[in-house]
Amino acid sequence: MNSVLRTSGLGLFTDLYELTMAQAYDAEGMHETAVFELFFRSLPPGRNFAVAAGIWDALAYLESVHFTDEDADYLRRQGLFSDEFIRRLQDFRFQGHVFAVPEGTVVFPNEPLVQVVAPMIQAQLVETFLLNQVHFQTVIASKAARIVLAAQGRTVVDFGARRAHGLDAALKAARASYLVGADGTSLVEAGKLFDIPVFGTMAHSYVQAHDNERSALAAFARRYPGTTLLVDTYDTLQGVGRVIELAARLGSDFHVGAIRLDSGDLEVLAREARRMLDQAGLAQVKIFASSELDERAISRFVESDVPIDGFGVGTHLVVSEDAPSLDMAYKLVEYAGRGRIKLSTSKALYPGRKQVFRVVEDGRMQRDIIGRWGARAEGSGLLVPMLQGGKRLAGQEEDLRAAREYAIEQLRRLPPPLAALEAAQPAYPVHVSDAIRHDFESLKESMQAM
């Protein structure tokens, strides 16, 4: 199992109010089946879609979450919980059912990504972890998908670990990027954990540590013949010239694969570097660029035919700088067989278990319909069974390469306006069925009459 988070139990990875509510539910005998759905309400400005990720970590957690003796001792010291309730927590195991969209599914606002069907206390206590993992990885996968689409087949590598918000974030970002089509990561631990390609060049410090740039480049090329050489430590074009000199000296023993540009006007430098390399008979040497890149910069380079063959993307990817969050929620939609609603301003909630039906025509997504669970509608249902009785179903094991193929195919099915970097007009159509709207209005009338 490729789970990054190794902390034992994880029962306490929950907000305090989940535990206080759970104790209240327990005291009131509220143990009937609840249905919670995890979704996001809207897309960030300029975004046309999101890509669901983090589902596997949610499943791994649900299969193993429990409260340790140390957790129980901590809760006793808080003075909020009875000994009887703490003993119940020590026996806690998730035994519910989970339905979710497969990892890498393109999704839209108000569509359930994860649906938890379990006794009330079990379904309530897992809220925080599920949101934590699905939210972050969906944000990063969505950002990475835009970058990959902008690159139009050129190499994309995650360079973000040193700017990520912690160890778990760095690892999950590497995996989420690879899921949607990035070629790999610079982070070796992620390469090991997830069996994804690792990429690396050299740092400016290596060049600085040598007496001169010429000797540094020669030494590194001798050690790693097919490497990428960093050429902008002192003067970029002079650095390109050093690589050309090195090729002349080594002759048939010269196997350097690329040069890397990491500063300055990348368009101007890439064009001149390409001219110099081609003039020297080094057309096989590629140009790799980094330095504060995002999808918009990459798109400009690609659309202007700038001769850059690959991109290392760091900060803007790993923190999704322009859109670092989604308005994601985990809400009760059914309890004890009855639909539940929420009427808060701008946060109204449709009742009951739902399915998302997607209509695809001629290989392109056309529209989605959010309908009642078990109802018939055109298109194919996106939510599939993942856990039954707290145990993962056959066929739902982690397989990153299969999920990657699925995610890339999902992106290919986007209508061209949705794959663009600007907001599509109109937005992708997501319809709520008449039956669900009727259920909402009926419940609203009954609640307002109380």
CB 65 within 8 A of CB 10: yes
Query: 184: closest CA among 154, 158, 161, 164?
Result: 158
| Cα dihedral sign, 58-64-67-69 | negative
Q: What mean pLDDT comes out for the span 304-317?
A: 98
User: Helices 295-303 and 266-279, interaxial angle, to 10°?
Assistant: 50
* pLDDT-derived band at 1, boundaries 50, 70, 90: very low
Q: Is residue 390 predicted with pLDDT exceeding 90? A: yes
Task: Report, as an integer, the average pLDDT of 61-83.
Answer: 97
Report how far apart, in Å, the C-alpha atoms of 370 and of each of 24, 72, 108, 110, 355 are. 33, 41, 11, 9, 6
Query: What's the full length of the chain, in residues?
Result: 450
Inter-residue contact 103 to 179 (CB < 8 Å)? yes
Question: What confidence tens digit (pLDDT) does each residue in 227-275 have?
Answer: 999 999 999 999 999 999 999 999 999 999 999 999 999 999 999 999 9
pLDDT grade for 7, boundaries at 50, 70 and 90: low
Confidence category of residue 284, pLDDT binned at 50, 70, 90: very high
pLDDT, residue 9, reads 87
- In the block, residue with structure tokens 């890509």: 51
447, pLDDT greater than 90: no
Q: What is the mean pLDDT of the chain?
A: 96
pLDDT digits (tens, 9 = 90+) for 165-195: 999 999 999 999 999 999 999 999 999 999 9
Flag whether pLDDT at 2 surpasses 70: no
Q: What's the pLDDT tens digit per position in 129-176?
A: 999 999 999 999 999 999 999 999 999 999 999 999 999 999 999 999
Give CA–CA dist 195/300, Å, rounded. 32
